[in-house]
Amino acid sequence: MSVSASSITVDGKNVELPVKTGTIGPSVVDIGKLYGQTGAFTFDPGFTSTASCESAITYIDGDEGVLLYRGYPIEQLAEQGDFLETAYLMLFGELPTPAQKADFDYRVTRHTMVHDQMNRFFQGFRRDAHPMAIMVACVGALSAFYHDSTDISDENQRMIASLRMIAKMPTLAAMAYKYSIGQPFVYPKNDLDYTSNFLRMCFAVPCEEFQVNPTYARALDKIFILHADHEQNASTSTVRLAGSSGANPFACIAAGIACLWGPAHGGANEAALKMLMEIGTPDNVAKYVAKAKDKNDPFRLMGFGHRVYKNYDPRARIMQKTTHEVLKELNIKDDLLEVAIQLEKIALEDEYFIEKKLYPNIDFYSGITLKALGFPTSMFTVLFALARTTGWIAQWAEMIQDPAQKIGRPRQLYVGPAQRDYVNIGQRG
C-alpha cells in the first residue's frame, strides 16, 4: 500500500492527510486526524464518498460493472463453482483444495440441525408472520441456544459460530416457510448438497418421497453465489457496526437481516416482482416508465438503479441468463418475463435512464426465477439473507481481527436549538 499526502485547510488550520491506495480501486484520504487537528468533522450522509474500513474480501467497479470475490470474477465463480466453495473462499481467502472442500462441506453439513427447542420457539409466531420477521428473531435467538460459541475473543468459537450460521440458515429459512403454510418441518438430510438439502426442506412433505430437481438446485445455488457478498452495503455495514461493540455474531447477523429487509436493499426483489405483476402486460410498460420518470410521482422502477453500479450489474447479466435457462428447461411460459423483457428494453433506450445510468440490478431477474422455483414472494429476501450470511460472517470476522478496529461512532452536524432554559409548564404558551 503506497501512502502520499493531501492537505486541507479548515478555518485557517492546515492539516496534512495521508492518501492510502488499495490494490485496485479509488484511493482514500485518511481523515482520522482531521477533528483532532482542526475541530471539524466531515459530512457525508449515506456514505457516498466514505470508506468505512479496509477490506480484502469483495471488490466492485461500479463504472465497469465488475464484481470480484477475493479477486475472482463473479462470472467464473457462478459458472464453475458451487456456493459452499464461495463460502470457503469468503471465510479463508483462498479457493479450497479438494480435501479442504470435502472437509468444509462435511463440517457445514454436520451443523445443519437446529436445537429441537427451536421448534417450540416457532410456535409462538402467528402463521401469517412475514418470514423475515421470523428470521430476525430466530437468528438472534441462536445466541440463546449456542452460547458456547459467543466468546468473540476465542478464534475456535468464532469459527464454530460461523459454521453454525452458514449451516443453520437454510434450516431456519425452510422452517419459516413451512410454518407459514402450515406444513410440518422437514429435517435436514446430510447426504444432499447444501442447496439440494434446502430445496428438500422447503418442498418435501413427510408422506411422499421427494426428488430434488438438479436444474432447480443449480439455479438456486447460482443465486446464492451471486448474493454471497457485496462489499460495504447497508446490511454489511450494519453487521460491522453491531459487531464493533463486541456483540456476539448471532446478534450481529440478526441486525444485518433486519437491515436487509428494507425495500431499497434486499426487499427489492420482492418489490420488483410485485411491480411486474402490477404492470401485468407488456402494453402497460410505457405507462409505468412514464410514472417512474415523473418527478411528482414517487413511483420508482424496482429492480433498476444501484448506488454503486453505474453500468449493467454483472450479477443481473448472469441472473438474466439463468432465468431464461430455468424457464426454458422447465417449459414455463411466464407473462411476467415478457413484461420484464419489454420493460428492460424500453428503459435501456430511454434518455432518463441512460442519463442517470439506471440499469437493471440483480433483483430485476432473481424474483422471476425464484417464483418459477416455487417460492412465494415473501421468501425472496429470506433467500437473499441466507446467501448473504456468508459475506456478513466473513466481513464480521475480518473486522474482529483488524488491529485498527474500534467501536463505530459517527458524528453529526447538529441543527437543533442552541442551549436554552427550561420553562415551567404553567408558564408556557
Q: Which amino acid is at 361?
A: N
Minimum Å gap between C-beta 378 and ligand CMC is 17
H and E: helices and strands count for the chain: 18, 6
Q: Under a CB-based contact definition with an 8 Å cutoff, are residues 340 and 100 in contact?
A: no
Euclidean distance between CA atoms 406 and 241, whole angstroms: 10
Q: Under the criterion CB under 6 A, does residue 317 sit at the interface with ligand CMC?
A: no
Minimum Å gap between C-beta 22 and ligand CMC is 21
C-alpha cell at 90: 469468503
C-alpha cell at 28: 482514500
Q: Under the criterion CB under 6 A, does residue 292 sit at the interface with ligand CMC?
A: yes
Minimum Å gap between C-beta 350 and ligand CMC is 10
SS3 295: coil
Residue nearest to ligand CMC (CB): 305
Minimum Å gap between C-beta 331 and ligand CMC is 29
Q: Under the criterion CB under 6 A, does residue 113 sit at the interface with ligand CMC?
A: no
Q: Which amino acid is at 58?
A: T
Cα torsion 120, 121, 124, 125 to 10°: value is -120
Pick from 233, 237, 248, 381: which binds ligand CMC (CB under 6 A)?
233
CA atoms within 13 A on the CB side of 60: 19
Size of the site for ligand CMC (CB under 6 A): 19
- Name which of 240 and 306 has its Cβ closer to ligand CMC: 306
- Name which of 256 and 303 has its Cβ closer to ligand CMC: 303
- Name which of 88 and 365 has its Cβ closer to ligand CMC: 365
Site string for ligand CMC, 358-397 (x = CB under 6 A): x--x-x----------------------------------
C-alpha cell at 107: 463440517
Which range touches ligand CMC (CB under 6 A), out of 68-76, 304-312, 397-405, 413-421? 304-312
- Name which of 200 and 265 has its Cβ closer to ligand CMC: 265
Return contacts of 325-328, CB within 8 angstroms, 24+ apart. Answer: 325/215, 325/219, 326/215, 326/216, 326/219, 326/369, 326/372, 326/373, 327/368, 327/372
Euclidean distance between CA atoms 38 and 339, whole angstroms: 55
Q: Under the criterion CB under 6 A, does residue 300 sit at the interface with ligand CMC?
A: yes
Query: Which uninterrupted H or E stretch holds 59?
Result: strand 58-61
Does residue 283 carry a catalytic annotation? no
- Name which of 196 and 233 has its Cβ closer to ligand CMC: 233
Q: Under the criterion CB under 6 A, does residue 105 sit at the interface with ligand CMC?
A: no
Catalytic residue (choose from 306, 313, 324, 335): 306
Does residue 148 carry a catalytic annotation? no
Euclidean distance between CA atoms 15 and 354, whole angstroms: 40
* Residues acting as catalytic residues: 306, 363
Tell me which residues touch ligand CMC (CB under 6 A). 230, 233, 264-266, 268, 292, 300-307, 356, 358, 361, 363
